[in-house]
Structure 1
């Protein structure tokens, strides 16, 4: 996610040009909002899973072209939420965009979490806990690399764009022709998610202003959830 408005607002200070205290405060706010997003996602997911009708409907949407329609709708919501958070300085609108995106993530996760928890029982809960620990560990490690080294990973943007288009093509082909993308696809998507975390964290250091902690958190949260999805898939394929 690229910051598109800070260059037009002279009252805003780029993180790269701010004081050490301002940078630390910005990082605290950003990661607090990421943590808040994770907590809100868990609440949304818990409430959504209480409805058997919704769970059954979402499971039915994973079949054939319906899954492609669902993914397409999710991508539209993602683009709208990101563009809204970036193009406005109104904190209320930014929070609404962030909350809306978190809810969309919770919806898209319903069939996967339902399969793991409702059909695998206690083993499913253990799998989710393990996947969560692995995801958070990788996220923290990758973010630390950027925050410590201050390296600019913006060069990853082109490679990630190509990678995501290839991934979308494979998902469409797999859905239409009924073949399983398998373990190595999930590994490749984890690598893409890792690259996205590096890129988004790099934006924290080099692209955003001191007031952009909400869009910054949204970008990091999106990368975190992508990584979580495919870490779960790897655990499922392993079992």
Structure 2
């Protein structure tokens, strides 16, 4: 039996091990968010920002291509981040995922920065952090297991993907209510991910846990930003 199989779940571990796992997870989440923000700060004003945004908006299937690539590479990154082979592979997965998220955010951030009110970006960031902090506090204070949300998150995720694909193919806008629904879905994902961090992950899975939480926070930020832009 290898060292990974011998690892206990967070809920079965000693309090000191549980606290160390939680600290590592959120430290890696912070690192992924800093990498994400730094890449966007570099990419948006660069020639790539304008060219990539123009390509996505100018091609009917450009956004579908981006989503398809993100899905495939996201699956690969998740596999790497949870790999028992080596910790370096886990870090590679988290880094790859943060880079991909930054790239997929370029069009909406470019539009917000140059064609909308630039203040929506920090406003969306503050709202996202406030929501994330509140949802995290709910889990940490109640210690409730939100694993029952898994089925609803899967159904909601597939339904949202179907609507995005249909909207891209047939040229209709999902509007404010779709963004509001996706904010709710992202909030549910944060509750689910945080309760897994509190109860279900093994104590050696902090990199994979950080990736899942990062993905949910990024989705929340995306749709908060989109909602603010749609309202202006």
The TM-score range, normalised by the shorter chain, is over 0.9
Alignment RMSD: 1.6
> Any stretches of 5+ residues in structure 1 without a counterpart?
1-6
Measured in 1, the distance between the counterparts of 2:126 and 2:228 equals: 12
Measured in 1, the distance between the counterparts of 2:137 and 2:49 equals: 38
- Paired position in structure 1 for 2:81: 85
Count of residue correspondences? 230
> Aligned to 1:40, which of 32, 35, 41?
35
Measured in 2, the distance between the counterparts of 1:108 and 1:137 equals: 23
Q: 1:131 to 1:182 in 2, by over 3 A?
A: same
> Aligned to 1:205, which of 175, 198, 205?
198
Q: Which moved more, 1:83-92 or 1:23-32?
A: 83-92
TM-score (norm 2): 0.94
Following TM superposition, by how much is the alpha carbon of 1:225 offset from its aligned partner in structure 2, in angstroms?
0.1
Matched, 1:16 2:11: yes
Q: Which moved more, 1:145-154 or 1:107-116?
A: 145-154
Following TM superposition, by how much is the alpha carbon of 1:89 offset from its aligned partner in structure 2, in angstroms?
4.6
Dislocated runs of 4+, deviation >2 Å: 7-11
Measured in 2, the distance between the counterparts of 1:184 and 1:156 equals: 21
Matched, 1:218 2:211: yes
- Paired position in structure 2 for 1:55: 50
Q: Which moved more, 1:224-233 or 1:140-149?
A: 140-149
TM-score (norm 1): 0.91
